[in-house]
Amino acid sequence: MEKDQLILGIETSCDETAASVVKNGRIIKSNIISSQIPLHRKFGGVVPEMASRKHTENITGVVDMALKDAGVGLDDISAVAVTRGPGLVGALLVGLQYAKGLAFATGKPLIGVNHIEGHICANYIQYPDLKPPFVSLIVSGGHTFIVEVKGYREYEVIAKTRDDAVGEAFDKVARALSLPYPGGPQIDQLAKEGDENAIRFSRPKFHEETLDFSFSGIKSGVLNYLNSQSQKGESINRADVAASFQKAVISNLIDHVMVVAETKGYDKIAVAGGVASNSYLRQNLIKAGQEKKIEILFPDPILCTDNAAMIASAGYYQFLAGEISPLSVNAEPSLGLSLT
């Protein structure tokens, strides 16, 4: 039997300072997350410089707590995995530099992890028997992808957003509706009180055949509707707006990912990213999956938002493949996901 591998994961790509110890890529021993949401809420979104400063203040305590909760020391760790991108460059550098210091001081391997790949790997933690190949729908504040997961280190992007990420569109519409940050959960909650068919927001049409997404037009449709109603002095039912916007966006996601799964012959779709917590997406994608006999997999909400357990899981598979990063590895704020 192969020796168990404990990976220490560190995540600081945006506004969560997180550290986690994961065994064999699947079993969480600890998962510590220090959120900065209350700090950034008053500004209506993440302030990059403040995020970096807060990461610097929090990271030592968060890593120490992750090791303590796991009941292990640095000597027990097989490797240190850390997010290298994409994300806010200042925030990424805090985690990356800290992980480099740990790796250098302990002689442990350093593994730079793609944050997007980490979101996919959250499903391996939630579903211990899950193995590639499958289709993954990645939906978060900064990313929207449909990815064919061909192997643990093999990905092909089938579709992506051409403008706003889905979570970004939710946040912008929430701001227009005077809802607090983060906007996604607020719209999800408010939409439950509204009529999703009250307003028709048009979905984008491309000239060429593509499964790519565009959410900027839907967002603009909402803003135009709000301005029009205001200029005419007519009342605005915010719940109806939220529900109608949410339906337009989510139905777009579901239609496209179902086409990919059907045309490529997959019977599993694993959803990942912060928007995977959206209750409307969960309910309607599961329903669509049942109709097409396609299994829909969602991680627990704590594994949907940014966390270090998913980074440790992704790091484990890189560790097994011998993909160790040099101490010179740098942050890549615009890092994409491509066939590896």
Q: Read out DSSP for 79-126?
A: EEEEEEESS-HHHHHHHHHHHHHHHHHHT--EEEEEHHHHHHHHHHHH
Query: Does residue 128 contact residue 99 with C-beta atoms inside 8 Å?
Result: no
Query: Does residue 18 contact residue 11 with C-beta atoms inside 8 Å?
Result: yes
pLDDT at residue 1, rounded to an integer: 35
Query: Does residue 337 contact residue 114 with C-beta atoms inside 8 Å?
Result: yes
Q: One-letter amino acid identity for 7?
A: I
Give me the count of residues in the chain: 340
Flag residues of the chain having pLDDT under 50: 1, 340
Residues of each domain in the chain carrying CATH 3.30.420.40: 6-123+304-320, 132-301
Report pTM: 0.94
User: 132-301 maps to which CATH number?
Assistant: 3.30.420.40
Query: Does residue 209 contact residue 188 with C-beta atoms inside 8 Å?
Result: no
Task: Report residue 317 CA to chain centroid gap.
Answer: 19
Q: Top-level CATH class of 6-123+304-320? A: alpha beta
pLDDT at residue 207, rounded to an integer: 64
Q: Residue 142, Cβ neighbours under 10 Å: how many? A: 20
Structure-token pair, residue 131: 């193995």
Structure-token pair, residue 173: 């519409």
Q: Which of 292, 279, 336 is nearest to 84 (CA)?
A: 336
Secondary structure letter of residue 277 according to DSSP: G
